[in-house]
């Protein structure tokens, strides 16, 4: 069974590629970023450096896959809101070109799309959020993710394309860069390692849903093999974790205090945002396996190695 990972060189791509290879797939990476000579993908049977939507080019090299893991994404929420035209061009139009490329095939692969459990629902009306919660994204990033979900369903109804959507919460783990605008755990861990203070908005009681990236990998493995009518699954940690709990976990692992620099609470931040993962548990037979302290420990270990 052949699996192509679009965005295989990214943070999540490396975890999902490893998990798919461990599950027995021959796994190829397609990524517009060519890898450095010393940065191989140990799980990859092969790599193609090209745009993910350039289907004809990568099909020629990998062959027709059974499963496409679609992790290619070129914006984060702040960038998407600042420039929604570019966000839609690279993420939405690119995905539609991908789907048009797949229309040419006699047997369509299963497309598994990484959507965002933090962005497609908008402000939670109830927590934990089930997949049936209204989808009212607050920014362009979530609008694009949601539009891609809808296009996959429409394409499936029109052409029979098999697909699954995973609405992932906040992933963290090895290969998450600490210098971006996303990834609070990587940012905090990096600063704590450097003995620098971290910025906390409000009193640190805000609760979010965090998931170790290796557990995201096993969710894709489960979605690749899923038989059943459900197509869209929340993939989260199953419990909420506050900003203060992140800091206590880091302090416990590091054995020293992490300085906080308190900032005023941001009124647009919902107090609690946690995904209900019952459907993934029952339908995919999937659950997160790595405890929070273990996952944060692995992040710290990886950051120590690259810094």
Q: Which residues inside 141-160 make contact with a copy of itself, applying CB under 8 A?
A: 142-144, 146-147, 150-151, 153-155, 157-158
Candidates 1, 33, 61, 100; binder of a copy of itself (CB under 8 A) is: 100
Among 45, 50, 76, 92, binds a copy of itself (CB under 8 A): 92
| Burial (CB count <10 Å: 0-12, 13-18, 19+), residue 212 | buried
Cβ proximity to a copy of itself, 255 vs 267, nearer residue? 267
Contact between residue 209 and residue 118 where contact means Cβ atoms under 8 Å apart: yes
111 binds a copy of itself (CB under 8 A): no
SS3 call for 100: helix
Nearer to a copy of itself by Cβ, of 36 and 85: the residue is: 85
> What DSSP assignment string belongs to 125-152?
SSSSBPTTS----SSHHHHHHHHHHHHH
Please state the closest distance from residue 82 (CB atom) to a copy of itself, in A: 9
Are the beta carbons of 172 and 296 closer than 8 angstroms? yes
- Closest separation between CB of residue 80 and a copy of itself, Å? 9
**Binders in 239-298 for a copy of itself, by CB under 8 A:** none
Considering the complex, state which of residue 150 and residue 195 has its C-beta at the smaller distance from a copy of itself: 150
E-strand ranges in 9-93 read 26-30, 46-48, 67-70
What is the smallest separation between the CB atom of 129 and a copy of itself, expressed in angstroms?
Answer: 15
Please give the Cα distance from 84 to 216 (Å, whole number). Answer: 27
Distance of alpha carbon 280 from alpha carbon 286, whole angstroms:
6
**Site membership for a copy of itself, residue 99 (CB under 8 A):** yes
Contact between 97 and a copy of itself by CB under 8 A: the answer reads: yes
| Region binding a copy of itself by CB under 8 A among candidate stretches 26-34, 92-100, 161-169, 172-180 | 92-100
Closer CB to a copy of itself, residue 33 or residue 82? 82
Q: How many CB atoms lie within 10 A of CB 39?
A: 9
Q: Within positions 117 to 146, which residues make up the interface with a copy of itself, using CB under 8 A?
A: 134-140, 142-144, 146
DSSP three-state, residue 112: strand
Site pattern 58..87 for a copy of itself (x: CB under 8 A): -----------------------x-xxx--
Contacts of 152 (CB under 8 A, 6+ apart): 99, 111, 113, 161, 163, 165, 231
Least distance in angstroms from the C-beta of 55 to a copy of itself:
12
**Looking at 97-105, 189-197, 201-209, 216-224, which segment touches a copy of itself (CB under 8 A)?**
97-105
Q: Are 220 and 293 in contact (CB under 8 A)?
A: no
CB of 160 to a copy of itself, least distance (A): 14
**What does the alpha-carbon distance between residue 17 and residue 3 come to, in Å, rounded to a whole number?**
9
Q: Give me the phi and psi of 34, to 5 degrees please.
A: -75, 145
By C-beta, is 72 or 187 nearer to a copy of itself? Answer: 72
Which tokens is 101 given?
Answer: 């490329």
**CB distance 136 to 121 below 8 Å:** yes
The binding site for a copy of itself (CB under 8 A) comprises 81, 83-85, 88-89, 92-93, 96-97, 99-100, 134-140, 142-144, 146-147, 150-151, 153-155, 157-158
């Amino acid at each position: 069974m052949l699996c192509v990972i679009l965005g295989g060189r990214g943070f999540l791509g490396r975890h999902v590629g490893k998990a798919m290879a461990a599950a027995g797939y021959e796994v190829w990476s397609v990524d517009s970023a060519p890898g450095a000579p010393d940065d191989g993908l140990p799980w990859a049977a092969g790599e193609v450096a090209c745009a993910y939507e350039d289907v004809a080019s990568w099909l020629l090299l990998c062959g027709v896959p059974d499963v496409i893991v679609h992790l290619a994404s070129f914006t984060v929420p702040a960038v998407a809101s600042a420039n929604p035209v570019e966000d839609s061009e690279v993420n939405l139009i690119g995905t539609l070109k991908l789907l048009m490329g797949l229309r040419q095939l006699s047997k369509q692969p299963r497309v598994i799309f990484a959507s965002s459990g933090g962005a497609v629902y908008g402000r939670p009306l109830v927590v934990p959020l089930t997949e049936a919660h209204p989808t009212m994204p607050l920014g362009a990033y979530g609008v694009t993710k949601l539009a891609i979900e809808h296009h996959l369903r429409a394409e499936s109804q029109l052409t029979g394309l098999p697909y699954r959507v995973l609405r992932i919460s906040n992933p963290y783990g090895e290969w998450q860069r600490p210098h971006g605008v996303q990834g609070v755990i990587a940012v905090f861990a990096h600063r704590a390692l450097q003995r620098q203070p971290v910025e906390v908005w409000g009193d640190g009681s805000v609760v979010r849903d965090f998931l170790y990236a290796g557990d995201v990998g096993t969710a894709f493995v489960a979605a690749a093999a899923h038989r059943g009518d459900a197509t869209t699954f929340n993939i989260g940690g199953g419990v909420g974790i506050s900003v203060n709990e992140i800091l206590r976990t880091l302090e416990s692992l590091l054995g020293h205090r992490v300085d906080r620099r308190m900032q005023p609470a941001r009124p647009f931040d919902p107090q609690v945002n946690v995904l209900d993962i019952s459907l993934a548990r029952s339908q995919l037979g999937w659950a997160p396996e790595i405890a929070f302290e273990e996952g944060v420990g692995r992040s710290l270990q990886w950051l120590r190695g690259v810094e």
